[in-house]
Amino acid sequence: MREVGLLGLVAIAFGAGSYVATRDANQSLTWFHALNLAGGSLALLVAALASLGRLRAAAQPGLRAVLGRGLLGVLGAVALAVGLERAAHWSGLEFDWTLERLYVLSEATEMGLAELDEPVRATLYYDEEDPRARSTRLLLRALAATGRVETAEKKLGASPEEEDRFEVGSSNTVVVRLGDRFESVARPTEGTFYEALYRLRSLDSGLVYMARGTGEGDIERTADDGFSGLAQALLTEGYRIRSFVPAQGTPIPPEVDALVWLAPRRRLPETTLAEVRRYLAGGGRLVVFLEPGVESGLEEVIAEWGLRSPDAVLVDPASGRMDGDAPGVNPLAFHYGSHPISRGLGASRMTFFRGARSFELRKPEVEDDLWSVVLASSRSWLAEDLEVLERRSPPLRPASARSDYHPLVVAGRYQREAGETRIVAFGDADLASNRHLRTLYNLDLTLNAVHWVASREPAIKLLPKARVAGGDQFALPIQNTLTRFYGLGLLLPELLLMAGALVWVRTRSA
């Protein structure tokens, strides 16, 4: 029964450890956590019951000394563990072992707090039976350590007038106050605190025109294929958003800090393309998202500025299959050029694209600056057959296809008599959709592109780690990611450890 008890201990350790490392502050047990905890507890119970049957042998005088020494050893180990825990508590030392270091503040949060003229007040309203409050307290402690956040706690129901005033609807709600203004955060994380902080600051970062009317991504649509998340993120960063309908013949005013075009599905009228050319020639700023299989006319415009995009699908064999799609057509990018947009991104901070086209760079003038900002792996190649996006089998690379670090995102800066023109082009729009905006570091990449185009380089930063319903900052939708993480990242080493434990016990018994 020693083997069963040891296996139970390993299962409980993995169940509890993985729960602490991967859980959200508001997340319940998953199947992996529950299975390990329940199975481990059952194994310990079986081992304990089996051991009880042997207690009769303890009546023999010769075994009492052995059992006594063993019991003293167990009590000593428990006392040592409790003592170490208390010593760590009194020392004030803390270590963040969560998967995404949820309690280590990001540069963006620290920058936002440092720019304030007065401290922020954050009050936690909680119920004593709510286990989520512990995680929120840890977050508030990290915020208070900056010296820019004053924290407090109040039991839910103790101040009903305040709760009504601050719209506190449930336990584990944090009210963030700056002067006379406040924001109620019902699901406290660093990401939601950051968003509340920026709403309170009422920043004016500039004016963004979002084109619409020719099948562009809908910034008001909240479904997975909509782009309301991108619009909200721009508002959080202090941008003012206006809709630009090219069909109305309205000129693009020079005071626009960034013109964002989300993958039009139809060809733009020639009058619209002429207006875009006029705007860029006058020192305009453009962020354009393209899609394979669509020729809207914007491809021709940016090609005139040295950013040519062949109508082909980028295939990267270094990226695997996702949701039944063919392997390689959804690139997972971890190569970045040296550019402010990709600041802080690298092999451990990847971005995800779903069905993308690539670019070829050639300077229109010698003094122009062109960059490959995000690149696929060296094994990537371009498939002229757009049907690879519809098939499920791996694409076959033709002998004529060239493998290279094909760009997925490019940028250009051009000095002209009328001013400085800046352009950023993405080979995919899905990365900015509601479904994938918070996948990995897609949100950072997208916002930083707008910041750079709008000449707001100081605003370029990595945002706080964020967890939202149905998504996470992982390479796949959270259900796919955690399934693979539990299956390979946790389950495999757990089985190996169990096998090693069995070998060790049996060797000791031999």
Q: Where are the domains of the chain?
A: 2-96, 107-200, 203-459
DSSP output for 441-498? THHHHHHHHHHHHTT-GGG--PPPP--BTTB-SSSS-HHHHHHHIIIIIIHHHHHHHH
pLDDT band at 283 (very low <50, low <70, confident <90, very high): very high
Flag whether pLDDT at 433 surpasses 90: yes
pLDDT at residue 262 tops 80: yes
- The mean of the pLDDT values for the chain is 84
CATH number of the 203-459 domain: 3.40.50
Least confident piece of the model among 185-189, 455-459, 489-493: 489-493
Residue 26: which pLDDT band, with cuts at 50, 70 and 90? very low
- Comparing CA positions, the residue from 74, 75, 17, 13 lying closest to residue 41 is 13
pLDDT of amino acid 25:
43
Q: What is the CATH number of domain 107-200?
A: 3.40.30.10
**pLDDT of 52 over the 80 cut:** no
Mean pLDDT, rounded, for 485-501: 64
Helix, strand or coil, per DSSP, at residue 352: strand
Closest of 198, 231, 143, 255 to residue 459, by C-alpha? 198
How far apart, in whole angstroms, are the C-alpha atoms of residue 155 and residue 171? 9
Residue 465 has pLDDT above 70, yes or no: no
Report the pLDDT value the prediction gives residue 65, as an integer from 0 to 100.
65
Dihedral sign of CA atoms 306, 311, 312, 316 in order = positive
Query: Is 0.85 surpassed by the pTM of this model?
Result: no
Helix (H, G, I), strand (E, B) or coil at 118: coil
Interval 60-108: pLDDT, tens: 565 556 556 667 776 787 788 788 877 876 776 666 666 566 678 888 8
Q: Which helix (H) or strand (E) holds 114?
A: helix 107-114
User: Would you say residue 123 has pLDDT above 80?
Assistant: yes
Tokens 């955060």 belong to 185
Q: In terms of DSSP bridges, do strands 313-315 and 381-383 run parallel, antiparallel, or are they unpaired?
A: antiparallel
